[in-house]
Chain A
Amino acid sequence: MVKRPDIRLIAIVAIALVAVFALPMLTSERYLLRVFTFVGVNVIIITGMALLFGYAGQVSLGHAAFYGIGAYASAFAVLTLGWPWVAGVALALVLTAVGGLLLALPSLRLKGHYLAMATLGFGEIMKVVFVEARPVTGGPDGLSGIPYPTLGPLEFDTAGTAYWLVWGVAAVALLLAYNVVRSRAGRAMRALHGSELGATACGIDITGVKVRVFVISAALAGLAGALYAHVVGFVSPSTFSLHVSVLLVAMAVLGGTGSLAGPVIATVILTLIPYSDAVIPGLSRTALETIQEWQEDIYGLTIIAVMLFVPGGIGSLIRRIFPERGDAG
């Protein structure tokens, strides 16, 4: 079946793109830009998680470790080795991709909870490495004074430019993921989530696809880490805990399967909850402190509520709003 491009949707995309990238021109509030920069960093990670979970049907409880490897690799390369930032990012990508490959090869024999445990174990082992490999990671004190990202003469040293950089990378990551989803491999992945047997019967190299997706998702987490380290200027092991891995899985599941937009929206919402005081205008100090006091509860209840009231995840909600849309995108 052939469909005409939906003018309404194209318009929304165009407005969204313009508005997201115009934010730093509309406001000089560093706080707001900071918060949305963190959202962008999480969007990069979740793009990989959405591929891994939503399309390949695999669950990883170790992606905070790849996030950390990326952050430390790039920070170490720039801070200690004096490399340019781009080289640091390259190192982060290489290390996380290789790490993802090494973990994926033996782990993909495992299924379900056993795979989750293997990735969780990897994450916990890396946490020990982050604390103990002190010449590289700075131990529990972490690495501070990490320089801002630079691209040749460009220095992303303000909250606005850092925001642009992160969201620019996020947009590229989403486009890449979108292409993966559209490719033959992408269709294979969707087949995989449904039935591995069926996919095999169709002549799809399941293991190959799984490994590739795992490597892509690990590398995207590493990329996000390389951005986080230089935008915040400080990294320490506590940022890359199991708690973060679990929340990433929660964002992917809340987003729903077979969707990129769903997980992205889930990420935006969940990342903003602790900062809800930043995006709700005119909040009094008392209200703000009350929200902070109850944020864990709000967070947990939001997760439960979405899982109960939006059973198919946010992706299914989008499908309901745009029913003419197929199962891609």
Chain B
Amino acid sequence: MGAVELLQFALAGLKNGAIYALVALGFTLVYAATGAINFAQGEFYMLGGMLSVWAYAGLGLPLPLAGLVGVAMTALVGGVFELLAVRPRKDGDLLAIIIITVGGSMVLSSAARHLFGPLEKALPAFTSTGTVSIFGAVLEIQSLWILGLTTLAVVALWYLYNRTSLGRAMRACAVNRDAARLVGIDPRRIVTVSFMLAAALGALAGLAVTPLTQTAFDVGPSVGIKGFAAAILGGLGNPIAAVAGGIVLGMLESMSIAFISSTYKDAIALVVLLGVLFWRPQGIFGASRREKV
């Protein structure tokens, strides 16, 4: 295998990894706020694409505005979902919240089918369908957008966590809800905000990918699994670890195809994931911390 081909595999892994990373970031945010895994995260990815297509093709908005509308509406859906279905469960029981998000994901994908029909929808590339050449290997301009948006999301999250009072409140809640409440932070508000941010991140991924893959009401679960795997692989609760987990997972799949077989790429990636878990039960970058289910 030549160096150019190897680079091509790496670029593909990076691009898929960036998508997984964005979805994984959403898992991380909700996990930090509630301790639970949000099974509706994949549906936010789906809604980001579907609502953007609706705003673009249905409302006739220009693409940047349509994308903004899609992401904002998905964030709204995430917030409303939290208010209506998660917040009323006052004891914050982890498994109860997880199962509520399972129910939520069924309702969201079904609602998308009712509203937009069962067929896939297309969206044009953000700027150009062209490509750039990197030492002979090729990357779509749209993939640059995906990588750029992922980087932007990470930087924005870092800024939010470290430089804003909301972010500090979110971190405080993740460490200890009761203590946070004592210093005047309302944990319920933090959970709502976390769901909205998670939904926006998922939607951003869905929006950025749709020009390459199209979207449909049922694309959520498969990407959701990948994002969950990425978040776990990196180690839950740490945004940088989630991004690293996403990139590692994308690379694993791509290299499995390169060196072993495309038939078993998912199985190989999962075997490696299981191996990592058995070796480091808290994920690659996860700190050892108290855990309960």
Contact = CB atoms under 8 A, between A and B. Distances in A.
A contacts B: CB pair < 8 Å: yes
Nearest to B292: A112
> Considering residues B98, B102, B266, which has the most beta carbons from chain A within 10 angstroms of its beta carbon?
B102
Given A128-B266, A132-B263, A308-B89, A300 B225 contact: no
A246 B266 contact: no
Interface string A74-115: 000000000000000000000000000000001101111111
A160 to B, nearest CB: 33
Interface in A271-312: 294, 296-297, 299-304, 307-308, 311
B274 A308 contact: no
Contacts of B111: 297
A125 B264 CA distance: 9
B95 interface: yes
Interface stretch (A23-31, A42-50, A218-226, A247-255): A247-255
B291 A300 contact: no
Nearest to B273: A121
B274 A118 contact: yes
A239 B236 CA distance: 30
Interface string B268-289: 0011011001100111000000
Nearest to B106: A300
B89 A297 contact: no
B100 A304 contact: yes
A304 B104 contact: yes
Interface string B85-121: 1001101011110111011111101110110000000
Contacts of A247: 102
Contacts of A254: 99
A120 interface: yes
Interface residues of B, number: 47
A303 B97 CA distance: 11
Interface of B is mostly: helix
A59 B293 contact: yes
Nearest to B283: A114
Contacts, number: 129
A111 B293 contact: yes
Contacts of A129: 267
Interface of A is mostly: helix
A106 B273 CA distance: 13
A114 B233 CA distance: 9
Contacts of A124: 225, 266-267, 270
Contact of A111 (B109, B110, B113, B291): B291
Contact of B99 (A125, A132, A253, A296): A253
A20 to B, nearest CB: 28
A72 B112 CA distance: 35
A117 interface: yes
A300 B40 CA distance: 11
B190 to A, nearest CB: 20
Given A110-B277, A118-B274, A303 B102 contact: yes
B28 to A, nearest CB: 11
B54 interface: no
A300 B267 contact: no
A122 interface: yes
A174 interface: no
Contacts of B264: 128, 132
A315 interface: no
A55 B221 CA distance: 29
Nearest to A115: B293
A304 B103 CA distance: 6
A279 to B, nearest CB: 21
A117 B37 CA distance: 11
A311 B39 CA distance: 19
Contacts of B93: 311
A243 B109 contact: no
Contact of A57 (B98, B106, B293): B293
Given A114-B282, A118-B277, A307-B89, 18 more contacts: A106-B274, A110-B278, A111-B292, A111-B293, A112-B291, A113-B31, A113-B236, A117-B273, A122-B274, A124-B270, A128-B263, A129-B267, A294-B110, A299-B106, A302-B103, A303-B99, A303-B102, A304-B85
10 contacts: A110-B278, A114-B236, A114-B281, A114-B291, A117-B273, A118-B274, A128-B266, A129-B267, A250-B103, A308-B85
Minimum-distance CB pairs A-B, first 6: A300-B106, A303-B103, A296-B110, A300-B107, A112-B293, A304-B103
